């Protein structure tokens, strides 16, 4: 959920870039305690991330973006799990619960949306990115620490932040499974200036990708 903007901002010098869903991701980590004893960390990711960036290479703080994350694309499986079959069962059950109304309620709120509001230049290619994050029907301001790189015609943006799940209505918990209040998000976006022909797919996947998912 990355974005770059400095309102009121000038459109001069900005060009349109399309976020590549196949090369972008949003990851998260959150702690939990099982039966008040065992501490664990759950790592997950959203694989369908799209949107657009208006990028100004001469003045990145004059850039902006709108990022959409498909909530149902979340996946908490561990590719390095010592017992893959057990992890597959546990992550399948966990992901199903995360998609329900206790958490992301993907049936009624299919997208997480980030829209930038301001950018502060820090040092080098590092920036502090301000914006509005919408999860379900809750919109709140957040701040990301980010950086960008431009190489071989590809714009790469990375960022991270620590957020409180209760701020976004993700407050489910019980006595047997206590979930930490704060979690970390890590974003990696890749964008290109020349977008293929899109079919109106909300994430921005090309026709072949949208039709096969």
What is the reported pLDDT for 36? 56
Nearest alpha-carbon partner for 213 in 73, 25, 19: 73
How far is residue 134's CA from residue 113's CA, in Å, rounded to a whole number? Answer: 5
Assign residue 97 a region: left if phi > 0, alpha if psi is -120 to 50, beta otherwise?
alpha
What is the reported pLDDT for 12? 58
Q: What is the mean pLDDT of each run of 10 residues along the chain (213 residues)?
A: 43 83 96 68 95 89 93 93 89 95 96 94 89 97 95 94 96 84 96 65 58 50
β-pairing verdict for 111-121 and 126-135: antiparallel
Nearest alpha-carbon partner for 1 in 159, 201, 166: 159
For 168, phi and psi rounded to 5 degrees? -115, 20
Q: What is the DSSP string of 168-211?
A: GT-----SSEEEEEEEEEEEEEEEESS---B-S-TT--BHHHHH
Nearest alpha-carbon partner for 69 in 52, 53, 46, 90: 46
- In DSSP terms, which residues pair with 40 in a beta bridge? 32
**Model-level pTM?**
0.83
What is the reported pLDDT for 202? 59
Domain definitions of the chain by residue range: 15-212
What superfamily does domain 15-212 belong to in CATH? Answer: Lipid/polyisoprenoid-binding, YceI-like (2.40.128.110)
């Amino acid at each position: 959920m990355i974005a770059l903007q400095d309102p009121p901002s000038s459109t001069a010098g900005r060009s349109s870039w399309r976020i590549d869903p196949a090369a972008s991701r949003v990851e998260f980590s959150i702690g939990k305690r099982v039966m008040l004893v065992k501490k664990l960390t759950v790592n997950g990711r959203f694989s369908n991330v799209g949107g657009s960036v208006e990028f100004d290479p001469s003045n990145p703080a004059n850039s902006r973006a709108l990022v959409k994350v498909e909530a149902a694309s979340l996946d908490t499986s561990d590719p390095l799990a010592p017992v893959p079959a057990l992890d597959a069962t546990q992550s399948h059950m966990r992901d199903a619960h995360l998609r329900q109304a206790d958490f992301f309620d993907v049936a009624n709120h299919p997208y997480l949306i980030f829209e930038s509001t301001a950018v502060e230049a820090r040092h080098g290619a590092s920036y502090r990115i301000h914006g509005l994050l919408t999860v379900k029907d809750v919109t709140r301001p957040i701040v990301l620490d980010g950086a960008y790189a431009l190489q071989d015609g590809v714009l790469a943006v990375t960022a991270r932040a620590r957020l409180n799940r209760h701020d976004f209505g993700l407050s489910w918990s019980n006595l047997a499974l206590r979930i930490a209040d704060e979690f970390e998000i890590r974003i990696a976006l890749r964008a290109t200036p020349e977008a293929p022909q899109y079919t109106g797919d909300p994430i921005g996947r090309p026709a072949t990708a949208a039709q096969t998912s």
